[in-house]
Amino acid sequence: MEYSVEIKEYERVDDLHRNGYMIIQDPKRFCFGIDAVILSDFAKVKKGDRVIDLCTGTGIIPILMEAKTKAASFNAVEIQPESAEMAERSVRLNGLQDKITINVGDIKNIDELYKPSSFEVVTVNPPYMNEGGGLQNDFSPKTIARHEVLCTLEDVVYASARLLVTQGRLYMVHRPHRLADIIVTLRKYKLEPKTLRFVHSYYDREPTMVLIEAVKNGRPMTKVMAPLIVYNKDGSYTEEIHRIYYE
């Protein structure tokens, strides 16, 4: 059932193919990509878990995960007020106000937003690029989403460690070229990398993304899953990607 919310003239409403859910997007700001969709599938949520999504953007991850899990609640944090307001309207559009809460906030000040050890699961699709270069003074929505201009990898990992209960799980999607930085930073904050899965556009190409599961105060042991391939040779989605998007 859809609820009446304002859709602005420059926005569009997209079908998420899950429970009839829709999402509001602004192409001029930032639209979610496949990384958010596969992260929502990779994350494992148990019945009754409290889940928080950092750098939520459009709110895509908590909305998709609400459709397929039995989590007790979802919180989401976004530093850009305009994006957070749009995400909140998507929550209302789907009638999910009782399950998903969108907050405006800076994860660098996470202790001002939430009590420590308040969540069993953290998800995050953070800015990937750590070399600002000429972009260091560019604070456009797309730059903020893609580059570490307002938060760094360490900010994300620190916030996750503060939010998680002992044995809580962090699920993150990132770029393979940052993997050494990611693992070092995770261990610095006692988040043990437990599962890695590399994502390839085609089976014979280098990976473009890596999915990571880390456990707070977990024991050292890392499992590398079979790669996730996005496209068949003819450019169509593979069976697994089709399942993730449409089933």
pLDDT in tens, 8-17: 888 999 999 9
Tokens of 146: 């893609």
Residues 6+ apart with CB under 8 A from 235: none
- What pLDDT is stored for residue 128 in this prediction? 62
Instruction: Report how far Cα 168 is from the mean position of its chain's Cα atoms.
Output: 16
Half-sphere exposure of 59 (CA within 13 A, CB side): 35
Beta strands in 16-163, from DSSP E residues, in sequence order: 22-25, 50-54, 73-78, 100-104, 119-124
Residue 164 near residue 122, CB atoms below 8 Å: yes
Residue 121 near residue 50, CB atoms below 8 Å: yes
DSSP letter at 85 equals H
Helix (H) or strand (E) holding 186: helix 179-188
Tens of each residue's pLDDT in the chain, 247 residues: 556 788 988 899 999 999 999 999 998 877 899 999 999 999 999 999 999 999 999 999 999 999 999 999 999 999 999 999 999 999 999 999 999 999 999 999 999 999 999 999 999 999 865 655 444 444 444 444 454 456 899 999 999 999 999 999 999 999 999 999 999 999 999 999 999 999 999 999 999 999 999 999 999 999 999 999 999 999 999 999 999 998 7
DSSP letter at 133 equals G
